[in-house]
Amino acid sequence: MMKARLVLTDSGGIQEETTALGVACITARTTTERPSTTTIGTNVLVSPTRDGIMTAVGRFLAGEHPAGAVPPLWDGHAAERIVERIGSILGAF
């Protein structure tokens, strides 16, 4: 997936992976449980129909797909933040 220019999916997990990798993603669903992939990331939701998918692919080919970005806390440093937070809580006792 890292070398893909575009991914078409209906999977929630793939939406996150493409956003983290900076790969354009078209999700054939009308809703998502991962909204940051559409507000910040590279994911676009489309109607899960032939027309919805073909329109989105056409827009991608025309250069009209959002460039997106990796959300701020998706930087690979979650464990460090967790340890720091736990340390600050335990240090307060």
pLDDT confidence of residue 91: 86
Closest CA to 34 of 80, 79, 74, 76: 74
CATH of domain 6-91: 3.40.50.2000
Mean pLDDT over each residue of the chain, to the nearest integer:
93
| Residues with Cβ within 8 Å of residue 8, at least 6 apart in sequence | 25, 26, 28, 53, 57
CA-CA distance, 62 to 70, in Å (whole number)?
Answer: 23
Q: What is the tens place of the pLDDT at every residue in 34-46?
A: 999 999 989 999 9
Answer whether residue 93 shows pLDDT above 80: no
Q: Where are the domains of the chain?
A: 6-91
Output phi, psi for 78, to 5 deg: -60, -45
- Indicate the pTM of the whole model: 0.81
Q: What is the DSSP letter of 72?
A: T
Q: What is the tens place of the pLDDT at every residue in 3-54?
A: 999 999 999 899 999 999 999 999 999 999 999 999 998 999 999 999 999 9
